[in-house]
Amino acid sequence: AFQLEPKAKVSDACASYADLDQLNDRLYPYIHNLANNTDFFSYYRLNLYNKECPFWSDESGACGNIACAVTTVENQDDVPAIWRAEELSKLEGPKAQHPGRKQQKERQRPLLDQLGESVGESCVVEYDDECDERDYCVPDDEGAPGKGDYVSLADNPERFTGYAGEGAHQVWEAIYRENCFSRPISRRNSIDASGSSAPIFGLSQGQAQAALDFKQVLRAHKRDEAISVPEEETTANFEDECLEKRVFYRVISGMHAAISTHLCHDYLNQSTGQWGPNLQCYRDRLHEHPERISNLYFNYALVLRAVGKLRDYVQDYTFCTGDSAQDKKTKNMIRLLADNIPPGPQIFDESVMFQDTPTIDGISLKDDFKNRFRNVSRVMDCVGCDKCRLWGKVQTNGFGTALKVLFEFGSSTEEAKEKPLLRRTELVALINTLDKISGAMKALEHFREMLIAEQGGK
């Protein structure tokens, strides 16, 4: 049976599991339709291929490239080519090269002329090198020679790819290590300041070295001296942590849980060649870890609250796909979604976070939180499978955007008035991330039904 009490409140949020399930039953069709059936939300621009992993090098043996990251599906040679991990990892659909800044403007010149002066250039031309201190994510073109590609998200669903093993573990481990504000440091899972290493998810020596290199990077950023990696995510571990640090961990763990849910629900049975839900995968990765499921629900509350806060913002947003009828429809769809989200802090109350207390400086804590989240977004360039990297980037940007909306929105500075608060990529990532969480909750419901049916059949 499902181990979370449906009527219990999702800790750190303001609604129960049952409330959120009910809400999702109602909202899922809106969210899914918006994310998958509008041009605006189903194309994403990102730099998928031109950025190197900033934390470890391929030579260290702990690489983030496809060749060494996808070797873990057993007996690759026995598997038909189309089912091999590297094939499964590839992107589908045409990829358009992203035009340079000058080209972008030139291309849009006729449209700009046609629209006249009342339409802002920013709506038609999306420059990709603008970022500011309010961002929780590193803009995807940071330091990149090429500016990225447009990818159809609808053509590349998040599903099983076969990406696993040391490469994948190292990325997760690096992500969780960003959560080292003040987690209780377990001796077994820590790297001490002298540099000696203990096993982390059973890392090889090369990987442990890479982890140490990563630590050097953290040191350069004046981070904690001792790094801890959560062995497991029990709520007991959270007791001596402040809300913000807990929230950081829950966002990551909830994102991990959503990825696991999608890959278990859209799994390739390599003996039959059939795609479908894998109940054992669900049992191992989710059902036996209710805290992971709880973190996924927490993320739903957090992201939904952010989307709800955009109600007024999207009112004035110009979607600019070049088709005004479609733009109007898109706006109506997002407004309808926002209108159905409970207003105010009924599901998540961000106002209690980053407050000054006698022992905590709210602003410094927020800066720390932001910097750590930016590092999580950088780690995505170390993901060694194209499709996983795509969705990893979409989702970190989506959470970064949600955090930005929750904690930076409503700033009345002149700068905020001048600049559009959200870039197109941020809005697209936010809605698609919500779609991933919402879809994962539906998939979990399906798994629970399958489990009950299986138990009933015995």
- Tokens matching residue 315: 């009112």
Kindly give, in sequence order, each residue whose CB lies less than 8 Å from that of residue 146, ignoring residues fewer than 6 positions away.
47, 49, 50, 97, 98
Question: In this complex, which beta carbon is closest to ligand FAD, that of residue 369 or of residue 391?
Answer: 391
**Smallest distance, ligand FAD to C-beta of residue 168, A:** 3
Question: In this complex, which beta carbon is closest to ligand FAD, that of residue 331 or of residue 372?
Answer: 372
- List the one residue out of 239, 134, 227 whose CA is nearest residue 178: 227
Q: What is the DSSP string of 282-308?
A: HIIIIIT-HHHHHHHHHHHHHHHHHHH
Question: Annotated binding residue at 324?
Answer: no
Question: Annotated binding residue at 197?
Answer: no
Rg of the Cα trace of the chain? 22
Question: In this complex, which beta carbon is closest to ligand FAD, that of residue 164 or of residue 360?
Answer: 164
3-state secondary structure of 269: strand
- Tokens matching residue 219: 């040191």
Question: Annotated binding residue at 161?
Answer: yes
Among the options 63, 123, 320, 388, which is catalytic?
388
**Smallest distance, ligand FAD to C-beta of residue 66, A:** 13
Question: Annotated binding residue at 172?
Answer: yes
- List the one residue out of 147, 156, 166, 117 whose CA is nearest residue 394: 156
Positions in the binding site for ligand FAD (CB under 6 A): 158, 160-161, 163-164, 168-169, 171-172, 201, 233, 253, 256-257, 259-260, 263, 285, 292, 383, 387-388, 391-392
Question: In this complex, which beta carbon is closest to ligand FAD, that of residue 334 or of residue 379?
Answer: 379
Question: Annotated binding residue at 283?
Answer: no
Distance CA 216, CA 223 (A): 9
Distance CA 309, CA 329 (A): 20
**Smallest distance, ligand FAD to C-beta of residue 263, A:** 4
Element (H, E) at 276: strand 274-276
Among the options 53, 137, 180, 385, which is catalytic?
385
Active site residue 388: yes
**Smallest distance, ligand FAD to C-beta of residue 233, A:** 4
Inter-axis angle of helices 362-379 and 243-265, to 10 degrees? 20
Active site residue 320: no
Residues at the binding site for FAD are 159, 161, 172, 253, 256, 285
Query: What residues are annotated to the active site?
Result: 385, 388
